[in-house]
Amino acid sequence: MELLIKGGKLVDPSNKQNSVKDIYIKDGLIKSVGKDLGETLKKGINAIDAKGLIVAPGFVDLHTHLREPGREDEETIATGTRAAAKGGFTSICCMPNTNPVVDNKSVVDFIKEKARSEGIVKVFPVGAITKGLNGRELAEMADLADAGVVGFSDDGESVMDSRLMRRALEYSKMFDLPLMVHSEDKNLTRDGQINEGYWSTALGLKGMPSQAEEIMVARDISLLSLTGGRIHIAHTSASESVDIIRKAKNDGLKVTCEATPHHLTLNDEYLRNFDTSGKVNPPLRSKKDIEALIEALADGTIDVVATDHAPHTLSEKEKEFDLAPFGVIGLETAFSVLFTELVKKKLLSFSGLIEALSTKPASIIGVKSGIKEGSPADLTVIDEKRKFKVEDFISKSSNSPFKGRELEGKVIYTIVDGKVVFEE
Ligand code: DOR
Closest CA to 166 of 104, 220, 230: 220
pLDDT average, residue stretch 46-72: 97
Residue 49 designated active-site: no
pLDDT average, residue stretch 37-63: 90
Please tell me if the CB atom of residue 186 comes closer than 6 angstroms to any atom of ligand 1.
no
Please tell me if the CB atom of residue 310 comes closer than 6 angstroms to any atom of ligand 1.
yes
pLDDT average, residue stretch 41-70: 94
Selected catalytic residue, list 61, 103, 308, 378: 308
> Which pLDDT does position 217 carry in this prediction?
98
Summarize pLDDT for 256-314 with one digit per residue, the tens: 999 999 999 999 999 999 999 999 999 999 999 999 999 999 999 999 999 999 999 99
CA distance 27 to 83: 25
Q: Would the pLDDT of 106 be above 80?
A: yes
**DSSP character at residue 395:** S
For the chain, which residues make up each domain, given as ranges?
2-54+375-423, 59-364
Residue 39's pLDDT band (cuts 50, 70, 90): confident
Quote the pTM value.
Answer: 0.98
> Which pLDDT does position 40 carry in this prediction?
72
> Which pLDDT does position 43 carry in this prediction?
73
The CATH-assigned architecture of domain 59-364 is: Alpha-Beta Barrel (3.20)
Sequence-ordered alpha helix ranges (H) in 75-131: 77-86, 105-118
CA distance 95 to 117: 19
CA distance 128 to 140: 9
pLDDT average, residue stretch 365-379: 97
Summarize pLDDT for 13-34 with one digit per residue, the tens: 999 999 999 999 999 999 999 9
- Which atom of ligand 1 lies closest to the CA of 281? 1
Residue 70's pLDDT band (cuts 50, 70, 90): very high
Q: From start to end of 211-356, where are the E strands? A: 231-233, 255-259, 304-305
> Which pLDDT does position 78 carry in this prediction?
98
- Which atom of ligand 1 lies closest to the CA of 235? 6
The CATH-assigned architecture of domain 2-54+375-423 is: Roll (2.30)
3-state SS, residue 224: helix
- Rounded to the nearest angstrom, the gap between the alpha carbon of residue 135 and the centroid of all alpha carbons in its chain is 24
Kindly report the average pLDDT of the chain as a whole number: 97
Q: Would the pLDDT of 345 be above 80?
A: yes
Task: Name the residue at shortest CA distance from atom 7 of ligand 1.
Answer: 156
User: Quick one: which H or E segment has residue 214?
Assistant: helix 211-227
- Which atom of ligand 1 lies closest to the CA of 328? 1
> Which pLDDT does position 1 carry in this prediction?
84
